[in-house]
Amino acid sequence: MQKLLLTIDKISTFVGKTFSWLILTLTFLVTYEVFSRYALSAPHAWAFDAMIMMYGSLFMMAGAYTLSKNGHVRGDVLYGFFPPRLQAAIDLTLFIVFFLPGVTALCYAGFIYAGESWAIREHSNITVDGPPIYPFKAVIPVAGFFLLLQGIVEIIRCIRCLKDGQWPSRQEDVEEVDVDKLKEVLHVKDEDIAKLDEMVAAKERGAR
């Protein structure tokens, strides 16, 4: 079971990191459009729509990834002090009462919404010759599916925590460096760092 949970975590991570490249594309597009508009006096009518679609796709497709890392914003002023079983009971209740109905509705409505858009090959009406937006609307049910899949994984984690008394492990990802832990692993003491700083300072004074 744990292997299956981690596999779905990896899928959510892969999807989220793949769509994260839209940040780079969006940055280049904004830079190009600003340059074109103000330096060349040649704005593009499709640029604004393209920016919205790229940002929306990034936002939606990163939802499952963020959930897999337990990174969504939450009011945990008291939650963090609760024992794991109580945390799991709260999370399980919220997942069943709010998450499952909401995301299921998102998948259902998004599928219909995208289907209607594809049927008429919908284009943006912000400009006269707006770009096609039906591929973007197809992202809605796809993002909902990945989010629902990851949500089921989180529900299983809650159930396992209620049973075992501790949270199951998650797939490791990039984290901030824990300086104290790094010192412990490398067997480095603060005194050694201070001596090294003094040696560097002495060499700099000698060079002057």
Digit-coded pLDDT (tens) for 49-64: 889 999 999 999 999 9
Q: What is the mean pLDDT of residues 163-175?
A: 75
All structural domains of the chain with their residue ranges: 2-175, 177-208
Closest among 82, 79, 69 to 154, alpha carbons compared: 69
pLDDT of residue 17: 92
Residue pLDDT, tens place only, 112-127: 999 999 999 998 887 7
Kindly tell me if the per-residue pLDDT of 176 is higher than 60. Answer: no
Direct distance between the N- and C-terminal alpha carbons of the chain, in angstroms, rounded to an integer: 64
Element (H, E) at 205: helix 190-207
One-letter amino acid identity for 112?
I
pLDDT of residue 127: 72
pLDDT of residue 6: 85
Check: CB of residue 140 under 8 Å from CB of residue 60: yes
pLDDT of residue 131: 86
In the chain, % of residues over pLDDT 70 = 90
Q: pLDDT confidence of 183, banded at 50, 70, 90?
A: low
Q: Output the pTM of the full model.
A: 0.75
Q: What is the mean pLDDT of residues 95-111?
A: 94
